Amino acid sequence: MNDFASLGLSPALQRAADALGFEAPTPIQTAAIGPALAGRDLQASAETGSGKTVAYAFPLMQQIDAAVRPALRRTRSLVLVPTRELAVQVGETLRQLSPFLAEPVKVSVLYGGVSINPQLMALRGGAEVVVATPGRLLDVVEHNGLKLSDVSLLVLDEADRLLDAGFADEVQQVLSLLPARRQTLLFSATFPDSVQQWADACLRDPVRIEVAATPLDQARIEERAIRVDEARRTPLLRHLIEQGAWSRVLVFVATRYACDHVADKLRRAGVAAAAFHGDASQGARMRTLSDFKAGALKVLVATDLGARGIDILRLPVVVNYDLPRSAVDYVHRIGRTGRAGESGLAVSFVGEAAEAHFRLIEKRQGYRLPRETVAGFEPKVAAAQTLPVAGEDDAPDGADASPGQMGQMGAPTGLDPNGGIKGRRPSKKDKLRAAAAAAADAQASGRRRPGGP
């Protein structure tokens, strides 16, 4: 029997841990499973890839297994996640545990981007565990497909993403449908101030767990920052893939258009690549992800949707083609590699316009990376005002770049006070101000002309 026995897991779940190859609990599992089984609220912070899903999956399933279970299944546990892909993966983990229990647990997974009808059909007869994205969960409730009045355990996975501006209102609507007295578990790699304020208001006497990365964990991911002109990023990416014999690479870009654009350039150069973003259907995204995991694709080009929602074992390399908007997103991006004790490489392309922003990311991370150059790809752009080199293979066209990396086409950029980099294109207000200033200058110049009024 493995070390999970010491955490209070039932014999059934100890057998499950053995059968699924969990030789020993990770630090977050060691710290979280006991208090969760005891019914305590948790605020658990641990780096990406540390085993957070298992840390709440075991207690969740054990509580259901120990309860009286009526023939009509009531939803007792709800897991909220920010992305479709994460919903599918959490559902798979829970379903792997179910056969080891005295009676199998019905797990329903709800997410948008596909027809709601099959999900409503799957909920007939109830479901004891529901894993859902907030928007689709509310849709299902509105269709009378699910009641949440019996939920006794709520899990928020990737809590920082769930409680950001894009999801916070939907999460609050979901919470209003739940019993006031319940156990709540928050799991996340980071807890920014807004999430911490929510946790302080909503958790009851929580056990606070913070599993810091050990020196060994930090050494697991080699980080590199390469200076390169934005117009040369795609040729450099191809060069690094070839020279490093990279078997699989996850490449992060800033926009959906850039996903398609970069993936298309790689395919035309003979590299097996595909785009991964929210415009694709759910079926297409799942097929693409499956092909990438199986090795049929060498490069997956993704927006930040992929930073939280996918879990790829033995992914050797992550590339920040466009820098993320924040240090938090940087952590999640590079955390896609170096998982489960494996080593990994994270490469960031840093152009002249993005240098100040990358320094901000480094400051938040608490360390500085040396800037490298690659022979044959040394930067030619000396300043942000310089125009792009004509005829380059990857000449930027604006939509292919991150905010602040949109080609060298205007005034130097500055840092966005919200955490990103301002783009170069002037806003409507900027244009109006510039026009007013030009008119004032012209009027003043007219007054200064000899013989003028």
Tens digits of residue pLDDT in 18-31: 888 777 888 899 99
Residues 101 and 65: their CA atoms lie apart, in Å, by 6
> What are the DSSP calls for 180-197, one per residue?
SS-EEEEEES---HHHHH
- Does one domain contain both 181 and 279? no
- Does one domain contain both 123 and 249? no
The last residue of a domain, from among 179, 211, 243: 211
Confidence of residue 333 (pLDDT cuts 50, 70, 90): confident
Rounded to a whole number of angstroms, the CA Rg of the chain reads: 25
- Does one domain contain both 261 and 176? no
What's the domain count of the chain? 2
The last residue of a domain, from among 338, 372, 406: 372
The pLDDT score that the predictor gives to residue 341 is: 65
Q: Is the pLDDT of residue 414 over 80?
A: no
Pair of tokens at residue 432: 């109006």
- Does one domain contain both 244 and 100? no
User: 275-308 pLDDT, tens per residue?
Assistant: 988 777 767 887 888 899 888 999 999 988 655 5
Residue 226 forms part of a structural domain: yes
Residues 13 and 94: their CA atoms lie apart, in Å, by 11
- Does one domain contain both 179 and 231? no
Range of the domain at 52: 3-211
The 8-class DSSP code of residue 275 comes to E
The last residue of a domain, from among 183, 211, 239: 211
- Does one domain contain both 185 and 327? no
Q: Is the pLDDT of residue 309 over 70?
A: no
CA 141 to chain CA centroid, Å, is: 26
Residue type present at position 130: V
- Does one domain contain both 207 and 113? yes
For the chain, the helix, strand and coil percentages under 3-state DSSP, each to the nearest 5: 40, 15, 45
Neighbour-count burial for 322-339, b at 16+ CB within 10 Å, e otherwise: bbbbbbbbbbbbbbbbbb
C-alpha dihedral, 291 to 293 to 298 to 300, nearest 10°: 80
- Nearest to 321, CA basis, from 337, 305, 303: 303
**Residue 180: which CATH number?**
3.40.50.300
Residues 238 and 234: their CA atoms lie apart, in Å, by 6
Q: Is the pLDDT of residue 141 over 90?
A: yes
Residue 377 forms part of a structural domain: no
Residue 291 forms part of a structural domain: yes
> What are the DSSP calls for 248-272, one per residue?
-EEEE-SSHHHHHHHHHHHHHTT--
Residue 146 forms part of a structural domain: yes
The pLDDT score that the predictor gives to residue 68 is: 66
Q: What is the pTM of this model?
A: 0.62
- Does one domain contain both 324 and 298? yes
The pLDDT score that the predictor gives to residue 416 is: 41
- Does one domain contain both 232 and 99? no
CB proximity list for 196: less than 8 A, separation 6 or greater: none
CA angle 199, 202, 205 (to 5 degrees): 80
- Does one domain contain both 201 and 347? no
- Does one domain contain both 158 and 175? yes
Residue 205 falls in which region: left (phi positive, over 0), alpha (psi -120 to 50) or beta: left
Residues 84 and 208: their CA atoms lie apart, in Å, by 28
User: 71-85 pLDDT, tens per residue?
Assistant: 568 899 999 998 888
The pLDDT score that the predictor gives to residue 212 is: 66
The pLDDT score that the predictor gives to residue 85 is: 82
- Nearest to 76, CA basis, from 224, 179, 210, 170: 179
SS (H, E, C) 222-235: EEEEEECCHHHHHH
Residue 423 forms part of a structural domain: no
